[in-house]
Every structure is written in C-alpha cells, then in structure tokens.
Structure 1
Amino acid sequence: MKTKRAMVFASVLLCTFLSLNPTLHQVAQFPVLQESSQSALPQLTGILSSLIVTEEVKAAETDAIMAANTGKSEIVQVTYKLFGLIPFKSSAIQVMPQLKLLPGGQSIGVSLQAKGVMVVGQAAVQNQEGKLVYPAKEAGIEVGDIILKIDGREMNSDQDVANAIHRAGEKQGFSEILLNHNGQTMQKRVSTVYCPETNRHRVGLYVRNEAAGVGTLTFYDPTNHKYGALGHVINDVDTNQKIEILNGNVVASTIYAIEKGKRGHPGEKIGSFVNQSKFSGNIEKNTVSGIFGSLEGEIKNPYFQEPITVGWESEIKEGPAKIYTVLEGERIEEYDVQIERIMHNRTDSKNMVIKVTDPELVEKTGGIIQGMSGSPIVQDGKIIGAVTHVFVNDASRGYGVFIQNMLKDADIIDKKEVA
C-alpha cells in the first residue's frame, strides 16, 4: 500500500513539474501547422530540452522533388517525444522556400478610389412645406452602405450621386438605388425631396469614395516589382469599414513635422506627397495585413544594399530588433525596438507586441505614431514583419504583423487553408 501511494505521489509530482516546465509550454504553444525555413525547425530551450526528442518525417521523395522544382513549400511532419518514447505533440512544419526582399522604410503617400460610393452620414432635408425629413434613412439606407448604381448608372463619385438623385427627382420623384449592405447586394427605392434652399432634389445622404494619407513602405520584391505597405487595412475614417478599392496609387511622401504621442493621444507624422516622386505604383489589394500592388522607379534603403532573407514566424523570438522609418524629409533612419510577445494563432495584423527602446525615437515621437504603420521590422538580419498599431495608453508599445501574412496577401507565397 505504501509503495502504491508513493508511486501515485511521485506521478503527481512529475506531472506537476512537467506542466510547469517552460520547455513543455514551448512545445504546447507550437501551432499545428507552422512555417519555417529549412534550417530553422522549431528549437527547444530549457532543462528538459535534452530529454525531448524531435522526430522529423519528410514528405514523400516525389513531393520533395516537386517542391524543389517549383519553389513552393514542403510539408514535414514533426513529433515530440519525452525521453524519446512518449509522444505528446505533433506538428506539420511547412518548410518554406528561401525568399529575399528589400526592406522599405520609405514614407509613402497613399490615395485611393473606392468601388462605388460609401454612405458616411445621414442628413435632414427641408421640403417645400418647411418640414425636415430623412428620405434615405426612411428607405432603409444605413451609414456604411456602398452605393453601386442609381437608376442603372454606376456611381464613382459624390458628384455622380448628387446628379443622379437630382435627375431622378425631376423625372419621377424617386430613385432606384442598388447598394451593398454588409456584403449583400440589395435595391432600395428612395423618394426624392425638392430642397428650395439648394434648388435641387435630395435624399439626405453624405457620401465619399476617396481616401488619402501617409504611411510607410514595408518591402519591395525586385524580382517581380511587388510591394507591401502599412501592415493593416485601410478603413473609412467615418464608418471604420474596409474600403473596397477601385483603383489607387502610391508615391513618395516627405515628412515635415511630427506630432509627439502621449498617453491617450497617439502622435502623427505630418507630410505631403512628393510632386516628382522617385517611385510610383498602384494599389491592387487592401487587406487586413496591408496594401499591395506593383511599384516602379528607384527604391533604395541606405541600410540594405541588397535584398535580405525573410524570417518566418517560427524564427521570430522575443528580444531586440530594428525598425526603419522616416521622421524628417525622405531620410530613412534605423531605431531599436524590443519584441516583447509573439502571438502565433492570431489571423489579424496584431501578431507581435513591440516596445520602442531607442532613446532618440522616444524623444522625437514618444514611441509609435500614426504614419509609422508599415515600418519594416528586422531581427537577426532577416525581415520578419511590420509595425501596425500603437497602444493608445502607452505610445512606447504597439503591435506588429508577421511578414509571412503580408506575403500571403500579396500573393507572393501560397495561402494555405490551415495556418
């Protein structure tokens, strides 16, 4: 009986010890499917790392040959065994081809035109009896809806909408509006109201289909001229909804002032578009991890004469890193940051927590500021991600996105159903 109790007690102690051991926590946090370079399969640290055996089973030889010939990824199955006997974790390692990118850091001016025209506000219209009415609101049109067509005509600007409403009012007293509401296409009949003040027929809407601002280039791929920037989606400033892009452009911008960030009030880069930009490009995609398209012209970063290797998610570690951004004119500067936390299972643009440790950057900006989004993050000589957001209550801290998420959205690497 005593022997049995002793064995149970010893088992409980062992289980408790193992559950608290950081090495096992490390393994437990590895995703079921993760990306890595051939030379950087997940490494373990800690006192038990010597007792945990990693068994690697590569894909079939034909699959490996196909992956090598196409430049695409290869799947490697990895099993972790305690004492080399007891399996307790399995992962599929997606061995990625080696990619090289030129880190950005350039300040860019972004301008885009949306597909359709977005409703950004409702307005009262005074009719001929002096009564205030809301025709569009009463018809069920909401802020955030995208107007696609009015009476069969495509809408591409606020002036298009105003003219179409007025024509419909003069002709028939109502307009047929085709719109996108939360991803669903629907049609609304809206009565027009003649406004004596403006001498035009109106329906009581504020609309917009353009946006512009300043951000930072993250990377440029000289082999195919593709780029990625911002590290996060562009939303409408009033509705906070994603802007579906009809077309857009990026050019160089110059920074002429900095509004320093402080607790509760994020700072901002203040800049303007460069008239004779050394580079220019289009915007093909607006995604959760940034904007993407093609770029032509002279793209240089004084800290990198040649493209550098991409660092995949599994290669990133907590510790020091560098970011590259512009604070004055068009001059790119290098600053120190600390990667404080890595979040493997998030699918948004908040994959890392970073802290600005460079005293010069803290002195000039207070930390991370608006316009710094997209600033590339480099660790151990590899580009691993981009700055995306600032903590409102702590300007020295913010989020970063994994570079591989940006590469997937840029269609530079394949998207996988499981990630």
Structure 2
Amino acid sequence: MSKKRNYRLFLFGFLLADLIAAGVLSLEELKDRIPDTVYIRYGQEEGLGDSLDIPLITYPETIDVSDRGSYQIPCSLLGMLPLKNVQVETVEDQWVCVSGNPVGLYMETQGVLIVDTGEITNQNGIALEPAANIVQPGDYILEVNGKTVSRKRELIAEIEDCQGENVELVVNRKGEEIPLSLEPVLTQEENYKLGIWVRDNTQGIGTITYVDEKGRFGALGHGISDTDTGELLDVSGGELYQAQIVSIIRGAQGVPGELSGYIEYEDEKKIGTIEKNTDIGIFGQIFSDTQISGEKVKIGYKQEVKKGKAQILMQLEGKVEYYDIEITDIYSSQQDTNKSFQIQVTDPELLAKTGGIVQGMSGSPILQDGKLIGAVTHVFVQDSSKGYGIFIENMLE
C-alpha cells in the first residue's frame, strides 16, 4: 500500500509541476501579446482600446497623466495578476517621402575584418596554420605593430615589413580590444604571411525605404552581415550611389531570386552617405542636391497594421510602381524586430516577373490605407511569393 501511495503522490506531484509549467508558459505568451509601446495620434486617443483589445487582459479606464506626451498603462490578467506596463506615446502625424528606388551600397569596415584562417606552405614545403586558435572569424584588426590600419593593403604592407619578427595585433572582438601576437611564415615565394583571410569593405544593391524632411534615409530594413561569418558588419561609414536594375533572376522553390544591378562607383554618381549599419536597416544622409522621387505619405504605426490588402513600392524596369500584396500574419511583440509581419505577393505582374520576393527587394516600402507601415526584409526560401516585413516604427526608432 505504501508503494502505491508513494507512486500516486509522485504522479500527482509530476502533474502539478506540469500544470504550473504550462501556466507559466501561457502567461509568458500572453505577456508577449501585449505591446511594449503604443503610439497614439493626438486627438485619436480612443484608438488605444483597439491596441489593447486582448482576451483576458484588463487595464484601468482612467489613469493619472503627468506628461501629455508620454505615460504608462498597467495591464493585468483579469484585473488580478499584473503582467506588463505599456508605454503610451502621444505623437503628431509624421510624414516621409516613400522611395522604392534601388541604390548602390559601398561600406568600409571599422578596421580589417578577419573572415577565416588557413594553411600556409613555408619555404621547406611544410603546411602551417600560424593564426589557428589565436584569431577568430569576426575579429576586426585595429592596429598592427602599434600602427592603426583600416585597409587590407595597409595590413599587407605591415606584414611584409616585419622581417620575420612577431606581428603584434590589436583586434576588436565583440566590443573588447584584445592584443594578439602572431608569428609570420616565410612562403616559397619569399613573402611573409599570417594565414588569415581578411576583408575591408562590402558593396551591393538595396532599396531605399524612406527619406524624411531633413534628408535622412532608411533602407533595407535589416543590417548587412558578412557572407562568411554571418556577423553584422561593424562599419566606419560608406556611400550611396545611383544604381540601375539590369536583369531579374526569378525566385523558385528552394532557390531565392535576385535583382542584378549596375552601379557606377564614381563621385558624380554618389548620392549620399551611410552612417549606421544596424539589425533594423542602414541609415544616413542624402545629399541636398540629390532628387529622390517619392510620394509624401503619413507614417502608420504597428497598432494600425491589419491583415489584408497592402502594396509594396519598387522599381523593376526604370520606374517605381505599386504592386499588390496581402498581409497574412502580424507579430506585434516579435522579438526579431525585422520579421514583424508576414506578407504574400498577389500581384500577377510581379509574380510573373520575379516569382514574388527576391534578393535586392529588401527595403521596398509597404503601404496600407495610404500610410507607410513597413518595408520588405526577407523571403521564404521554399516559397518566394511569401516573406517578412518590418514595422516602419521600428526603423524610425
């Protein structure tokens, strides 16, 4: 009897623990559905109820407001269990010019990026790997033998001048400056090498999402990462250039398509500067004498985004045009902020030309009810008609 009783107690305890764990997970999911911040237009404060219309969630009907532009609302489970404070920001209407224009991007890294290490054959025909387990992919070389370097050619020159002495590096590794020492290898070609693959710049084509009244632009809706390390590039600056789309590779199942463009990296073709590369886009300044065509539209906030018809704005054949899409899912509290909602291309013309969403379309503005609500960021590899967008308010933050 005692064994049976203990077994029942064990099962009861296990079931109770399982129920508690399920309850905690459910509460976390409920908290995730509550937005962290809600933007309300002046004179339209009644729209707050729509943003917090979540089953089982209650909040006070009245609240003390010490600052007309900003306050917090406590949300709870059925008025009993506190869950989260929602920051409410009351804002004026904000307008920007939507773009959809393709641009050429050129960015220089903050130091020389180490992509990988490799073997070197020395004068005696022996394969060596002098940098293995010392440097790491993603390190940025800032100094060589006490001299600041920002270009690959500067690094090569310093290594060639080492005369076989150890090369002293200072690298930036995830925000921490670390001193390292490498012993160079004299190759059969009588050159000194460290056995590292490096890169000091990146270039490509993207799409400008918006330009504000001060000439500040936002583009891509996601950051530019190194193709080998997958890490967000730490950039010191860069330039925007005019670009033309010259061919389209249609997307197919398992194979993302691509917009191929032509960029002229000449001073007279330069249209702006890149100042920041972040996980929600690249940002900078358009030159004052540069004309970026685009309609002036109002910003739409995440609580105004709804499932249903919308449009993307992009240039395929020399002219920026609107194409129909459908917003199929919305993730208001998504932690991955550049995957805020799911879209599907429905426009027959765009499907015929590109198969849906292709590489190079990142940053294409998404509009709904005449407002700019976001930008295209990702494509589904297995279905190029589907992809993700980022809320425009995330980019504006």
TM-score band (shorter)? 0.7 to 0.9
Q: After TM superposition, list the pairs within 5 Å mapping 1:380-419 onto structure 2.
A: 380-408=369-397
Q: Distance in 2 between matches of 1:161 and 1:288?
A: 28
Q: Distance in 2 between matches of 1:165 and 1:393?
A: 46
Q: After TM superposition, list the pairs within 5 Å mapping 1:216-295 onto structure 2.
A: 216-222=207-213, 224-274=214-264, 280-295=271-286
2:65 is aligned, of 59, 65, 90, to 59
Task: Report whether the alignment pairs 1:318 with 2:313.
Answer: no
Contact 2:32 2:333 in 1 (8 A): no
2:167 matched residue in structure 1? 175
- Give the TM-score normalised by structure 2: 0.83
Q: Distance in 1 between matches of 2:144 and 2:270?
A: 38
Deviations 1:141-184, CA, capped at 9 Å, x for gaps: 1222111111011121211111111112x1x5210011122332
Contact 2:125 2:188 in 1 (8 A): no
> Closer, same or farther in 2 for the Cα pair 1:55/1:132, shift >3 Å?
same
Corresponding letter in the other structure for 1:145 = D
> Closer, same or farther in 2 for the Cα pair 1:183/1:28, shift >3 Å?
closer
2:37 matched residue in structure 1? 33
Q: Distance in 1 between matches of 2:320 and 2:387?
A: 20
Corresponding letter in the other structure for 1:261 = G
1:345 matched residue in structure 2? 333
Task: Report whether the alignment pairs 1:74 with 2:70.
Answer: yes
Deviations 1:17-64, CA, capped at 9 Å, x for gaps: xxxxxxxx999933253223232624549x999xx997253622xx22
1:137 is aligned, of 132, 139, 142, to 132
> Closer, same or farther in 2 for the Cα pair 1:378/1:339, shift >3 Å?
same
Contact 1:350 1:400 in 2 (8 A): yes
2:149 is aligned, of 147, 151, 155, to 155
Question: Between Structure 1 and Structure 2, how many residues are aligned?
Answer: 360
Q: Distance in 2 between matches of 1:378 and 1:355?
A: 14
> Closer, same or farther in 2 for the Cα pair 1:88/1:55, shift >3 Å?
farther
> Closer, same or farther in 2 for the Cα pair 1:246/1:27, shift >3 Å?
closer
Corresponding letter in the other structure for 1:367 = G
Q: Distance in 2 between matches of 1:323 and 1:75?
A: 34
Q: Distance in 2 between matches of 1:102 and 1:407?
A: 13
Contact 1:58 1:76 in 2 (8 A): no
Corresponding letter in the other structure for 1:213 = G
> Closer, same or farther in 2 for the Cα pair 1:176/1:87, shift >3 Å?
closer
2:106 is aligned, of 111, 125, 145, to 111
- Secondary structure, in 3 states, of the residue corresponding to 2:141? strand
Q: Distance in 2 between matches of 1:279 and 1:43?
A: 47
Contact 1:324 1:332 in 2 (8 A): yes
1:196 matched residue in structure 2? 188
Q: Distance in 2 between matches of 1:26 and 1:44?
A: 16
Q: Distance in 1 between matches of 2:342 and 2:255?
A: 19
Q: Distance in 1 between matches of 2:364 and 2:32?
A: 31
Can you give the 5+ residue segments of structure 2 that lack an aligned partner in the other structure?
Answer: 1-28
- Give the TM-score normalised by structure 1: 0.79
1:96 is aligned, of 79, 91, 96, to 91
Deviations 1:271-313, CA, capped at 9 Å, x for gaps: 01256877711111101110001102343446x2xx2111111
> Closer, same or farther in 2 for the Cα pair 1:86/1:145, shift >3 Å?
closer
Can you give the 5+ residue segments of structure 1 that lack an aligned partner in the other structure?
Answer: 1-24, 65-72, 409-419
1:184 matched residue in structure 2? 176
> Closer, same or farther in 2 for the Cα pair 1:205/1:334, shift >3 Å?
same
Contact 2:70 2:87 in 1 (8 A): no
Contact 2:310 2:326 in 1 (8 A): yes
Corresponding letter in the other structure for 1:189 = S
Q: Distance in 2 between matches of 1:187 and 1:387?
A: 41
Corresponding letter in the other structure for 2:317 = E
Q: Distance in 2 between matches of 1:262 and 1:110?
A: 26
Q: Distance in 2 between matches of 1:288 and 1:309?
A: 24
Q: Distance in 2 between matches of 1:356 and 1:385?
A: 15
Q: Alpha-carbon deviation of 1:121?
A: 2.4
- For the aligned residue pairs, the C-alpha RMSD in angstroms reads 2.8
> Closer, same or farther in 2 for the Cα pair 1:301/1:76, shift >3 Å?
farther
Q: Percent identity?
A: 33
Contact 1:109 1:251 in 2 (8 A): yes
